[in-house]
Amino acid sequence: MTIQWFPGHMTKARRQIEEKLKLIDVVIELLDARIPLSSRNPMVDEILKGKPRLVLLNKNDLADPQVTADWVKYFADQGLPALPIDAATGTHVKEILPRVKQLWAHKIERQLSKGINPRAVRALIVGIPNVGKSTLINQLAGKKIAATGDKPGVTKGQQWIKVGTEMDLLDTPGILWPKFEDQMVGMRLAATGAIKEELLHLDEIALFVVKYMVQNYGAGIQERFGVQDLPEDLDDIQEMVKVMEAIGRKRGAIVSGGKVDLDKASLIIIRELRAGKMGRISLEKPLDKR
């Protein structure tokens, strides 16, 4: 479910996270591995105020593994440990606890040196809508507890979920808003399903996807859709539309008269991308122009 973010919602969401932060030791920041920076809240550093933080690159099953490796290095260079995971299948989810404990190890050692029995590390998951927060909470809890869907403003009683004996996780995540001001960011969010596509034109999103794929995953398009010649000039919109038409034709998106139904072709392109049917594709690289 996608929220329409208004300034009032953002203020409220921020206040809710700040309330939760008082209770916790370590923040788990969930990003979409396909678009890590575009799925990141623009004010996250300021909001989290220096709490120890683990970055998780979720939906890595859909992302290009080579690009994800570049992102892990990108975050490491900024002093942020990052771990690629698939919350839906649980892949690498078991590595979260040791990583979180590492971030809190200095406190545990201090407690031990004072003769205090260390308590479980308290963690909070934060991220924009649809990034997989509820899925991850359920996966860590080992059962279905987190309500999927986001409503800033709806507060439930805070509960702790025990992840083994060494980590307590807040059962409701911190919901952050994405960046909106940049059109490319909006395209990436829409292409991956993080924001409602009604907010943008389907054909615009599909055109963005096709252009990115022609540039970075040309062979994938050629193989999957049998498109022979890919445009060399990435800014030649007519040539890109021809690629979209070829894809539509291949998938039978034809209107009477034999013309390709571009809206239908756009929907097919976006659906197949989101389902991972075109292969593992990342839509943002550390070196992409912003």
The residues, any chain, with a CB within 8 Å of residue 16's CB and separated by 6 or more, are: 152, 155, 174, 175
Taking a C-beta distance cutoff of 8 angstroms, is the pair 289, 41 a contact?
no
Residue recorded with tokens 């998951």: 125
Q: Give 13-76 as a DSSP string.
A: HHHHHHHHHTT-SEEEEEEETTSTTTTS-TTHHHHHTT--EEEEEE-TTTS-HHHHHHHHHHHH
The number of residues in the chain equals 290
Hey, what's the torsion of the CAs at 248, 200, 185, 203, to 10 degrees? 20
Burial of 244 (0-12, 13-18, 19+ CB in 10 A): buried
CB closer to ligand GDP out of 60 and 266: 60
CB closer to ligand GDP out of 4 and 78: 4
258 in the Ramachandran plot: left (φ > 0), alpha (ψ -120 to 50) or beta? Answer: left
Using alpha carbons, list the distances in angstroms from residue 97 to 66, 106, 157: 25, 15, 24
Taking a C-beta distance cutoff of 8 angstroms, is the pair 133, 125 a contact?
yes
127 interacts with ligand GDP by CB under 6 A: yes
Q: Which of 9, 10, 61, 184 binds ligand GDP (CB under 6 A)?
A: 61
Smallest gap from residue 55 Cβ to ligand GDP (A): 15
Which of the ranges 108-116, 122-130, 183-191, 223-231 carries the binding residues for ligand GDP, by CB under 6 A? 122-130
Taking a C-beta distance cutoff of 8 angstroms, is the pair 264, 248 a contact?
yes
Q: Which of 36, 52, 84, 129 binds ligand GDP (CB under 6 A)?
A: 129
User: Cα(209)–Cα(151) distance, rounded to whole angstroms?
Assistant: 29
Which of the ranges 19-27, 84-92, 176-184, 212-220 carries the binding residues for ligand GDP, by CB under 6 A? 84-92
How is residue 157 written in tokens?
A: 């009683």
The residues, any chain, with a CB within 8 Å of residue 111's CB and separated by 6 or more, are: 117, 118
62 interacts with ligand GDP by CB under 6 A: yes
Q: Which of 11, 66, 148, 215 binds ligand GDP (CB under 6 A)?
A: 148
CB closer to ligand GDP out of 58 and 266: 58
135 interacts with ligand GDP by CB under 6 A: yes
The residues, any chain, with a CB within 8 Å of residue 201's CB and separated by 6 or more, are: none
172 interacts with ligand GDP by CB under 6 A: no
Smallest gap from residue 15 Cβ to ligand GDP (A): 19
59 interacts with ligand GDP by CB under 6 A: yes
Q: How many residues bind ligand GDP, per CB under 6 A? A: 17
Q: Which of 88, 97, 200, 254 binds ligand GDP (CB under 6 A)?
A: 88
64 interacts with ligand GDP by CB under 6 A: no
Q: Which of 20, 133, 188, 211 binds ligand GDP (CB under 6 A)?
A: 133
84 interacts with ligand GDP by CB under 6 A: no
CB closer to ligand GDP out of 38 and 130: 130
Site string for ligand GDP, 204-243 (x = CB under 6 A): ----------------------------------------
CB closer to ligand GDP out of 163 and 227: 163
Site for ligand GDP, rule CB under 6 A = 58-59, 61-62, 86-88, 127, 129-135, 148, 150
